[in-house]
Chain A
């Protein structure tokens, strides 16, 4: 019984972190799906989202506002606005001017953008860890009082639920809306969509903005869940989310979700049953293994040469 509770606890830990990875991974996968490029500045957009949320929360608390839903809503809004304008700016500055050139050029300009943003936050906010106030406390507990109890905190529930809502909304948006349809068309054939009157520049910018808003949501959630943020915080998370996107099949939105969850659960199971030291070894080993047998990732479609 105790073993089972322990397993469930590690599963919950893994799913929480995995769903946040999935939120960030969407940004990578959508941009890749549309223009076939990796947006390396995406991790920094996520970090800036978290910083904006923290600054907003601190500001609101200083103003004497204590009603939690209002604080969270305003923080979320500010984070999404700042991060999505950042996503738009990244596309405008680092991608659009070099679009259509050799593949390596936008890659390098995105890496440059990422380093620039990281250092900008270093200078503007200082490089120390900043503590996030504890806003959502408490949770449910299962199991006997005197032995191991499985606990699921309200914060973890918030992360699951928010991720679920965001993912559903995104899927509906892509499947039903006019812009969503245009997104799908652009990802299938950019040149043809252009000929048919779709403003591809606008659609590509929209993809960056959507990815950035989801990253900002993840930034707020993970900042609150972990408890502290620093300017390098986006780099590691970005790397993990990128791995999740590749694992699930880059370019595929359900693939990003699946990849995020697999990565999160494999990390927490490795630290839970083996040792935290092997966490990255196992998850990246898993990535290599999957890519060996399915080079396009779990749900990725094999790339067909366009004639």
Chain B
């Protein structure tokens, strides 16, 4: 009795496994890895929404080389440890192409796994220069670099002729990277930077920092990091009448900052990729998002869409599902995507990517300033 039950279970298990293997031949798995939960899940929503849309549209146009794309979505919570687990699961699932991850600190350790296991990865959001500096073959991005975003912000600040600018960061790879670039560019432009210091991500009490900023008598404060901390700094600064104008990278530019900072978010300056959803050539796509009741205006929606599109076009051009051949095709061709013309250099970075300065409003809307 006992053994026959075991046999039956094994038999069923094996046939399920065979069924799984059978269907895998007719489809191409695309891994989407990003935060579905956690403090920056808002950005993950943008990523998943953009990537799903691309997969849907490609499939309804006949798929890639006659095969359907299938999404394998995993949550990395923007945590480096979790990201490695997610990367390993991607390997186990037999995924050969990954769109992700989102936070630079997650993308970095995950990309080690992908490169080792021969999986092609395109990050739609990670801007840390270090990710593509290791000479990896299979790592690409559809977003600019911190080293591009920092100088844009600093040059804009310098053009306002400020006397003193404080630069604060959250000591993480993303925030500190941008903050360092901002400080260096400000100093090159002969702007005085009386404060350059880190805070602890996850902290709630910034009263000492705000006091220090008031004492330093600065005109502008640049913050390198994400919105949960900047939201609180803005709110606590407003309560003690600190009149400096704040500026931050795209990591602070989303509507969650309004629920934390409230009125204090008015006038915040943010560097973001240009509003791709406002470009005339993307209107059909924007309509598709609106029909699904999704918002295409987030900074990572269309970069994620483009990442999936690049994987699909790369496979078609290479006429192969081998990630190394697809990577070669990505490097040697020029692609036209919703985020503009994409052309890669040997490191896997886009040859050009634009950042624009926006002014943020307390209702969550934004207007370009230059």
**Residue positions of A touching B, CB distance < 8 A:** 2, 6, 9-10, 13-14, 16-17, 122, 126-131, 133-134, 137, 139, 141, 148-149, 151, 153, 155, 222, 225-228, 230, 232-233, 236-237, 267-268, 271-272, 275-277, 279-280
Beyond A277-B171, A277-B198, whether A227 also contacts B209 by CB under 8 A is no
A128 touches B39 (CB 8 A): yes
Q: Which residues of A contact B207 (CB under 8 A)?
A: 13, 16-17, 268
Beyond A148-B215, A226-B205, A233-B204, whether A129 also contacts B199 by CB under 8 A is no
Nearest opposing residue in chain B for A130, CB measure = B259
29 A-B pairs within 8 Å (CB atoms) are namely: A13-B205, A13-B207, A13-B208, A14-B208, A17-B205, A127-B37, A127-B39, A128-B41, A128-B256, A129-B39, A129-B231, A129-B260, A131-B261, A134-B239, A134-B262, A137-B239, A151-B241, A227-B235, A228-B231, A236-B202, A267-B205, A268-B207, A268-B208, A272-B212, A275-B198, A276-B198, A276-B200, A276-B203, A277-B199
Beyond A13-B211, A230-B228, A272-B211, whether A280 also contacts B205 by CB under 8 A is no
- B228, B236, B260, most chain A CB atoms within 10 A: B260
Output the least CB separation between B226 and chain A (Å): 10
Beyond A129-B39, A131-B262, A153-B239, whether A227 also contacts B232 by CB under 8 A is yes
Distance, CA A227 to CA B204, complexed state (A): 8
Q: Which residues of A contact B189 (CB under 8 A)?
A: none
Q: How many residues of B contact A (CB 8 A)?
A: 35
Question: Residue B85 at the A interface, CB < 8 A?
Answer: no
Beyond A122-B37, A228-B260, A276-B199, whether A9 also contacts B211 by CB under 8 A is yes
- Other-chain contact of B38, A127, A149, A226, A277 (Cβ < 8 Å): A127
Nearest opposing residue in chain A for B216, CB measure = A148
- Other-chain contact of A10, B211, B239, B261 (Cβ < 8 Å): B211
Q: A131-B231, A222-B204, A226-B205 are in contact. List 9 more A-B contacts (CB 8 A).
A: A13-B207, A127-B41, A226-B204, A228-B204, A271-B212, A272-B208, A275-B198, A276-B200, A277-B171
Q: Which residues of A contact B231 (CB under 8 A)?
A: 129, 131, 227-228
Q: Which residues of B contact A139 (CB under 8 A)?
A: 239
Q: Which residues of A contact B262 (CB under 8 A)?
A: 131, 133-134
Distance, CA A271 to CA B212, complexed state (A): 8
Beyond A129-B228, A236-B202, A271-B208, whether A230 also contacts B197 by CB under 8 A is no
Q: Which residues of A contact B202 (CB under 8 A)?
A: 232, 236
B240 touches A228 (CB 8 A): no
Nearest opposing residue in chain B for A225, CB measure = B205
- Other-chain contact of A148, B37, B38, B199, B214 (Cβ < 8 Å): B214
Distance, CA A233 to CA B261, complexed state (A): 17
Within 8 A of A (CB), among B15-47: 37-39, 41-42
Distance, CA A230 to CA B41, complexed state (A): 13
B39 touches A276 (CB 8 A): no
Distance, CA A137 to CA B235, complexed state (A): 11
Distance, CA A226 to CA B231, complexed state (A): 10
Q: Which residues of B contact A130 (CB under 8 A)?
A: 259
Distance, CA A275 to CA B213, complexed state (A): 12
Nearest opposing residue in chain B for A232, CB measure = B202
Nearest opposing residue in chain B for A136, CB measure = B239
Output the least CB separation between B248 and chain A (Å): 16
Distance, CA A6 to CA B241, complexed state (A): 15
Distance, CA A153 to CA B236, complexed state (A): 11
B228 touches A267 (CB 8 A): no
- Other-chain contact of A131, B217, B239, B240, B259 (Cβ < 8 Å): B259
Output the least CB separation between B250 and chain A (Å): 18
Q: Which residues of B contact A226 (CB under 8 A)?
A: 204-205, 232, 236
B200 touches A280 (CB 8 A): yes
Within 8 A of A (CB), among B202-252: 202-205, 207-209, 211-212, 214-215, 217, 228, 231-232, 235-236, 239-241
Nearest opposing residue in chain B for A129, CB measure = B228
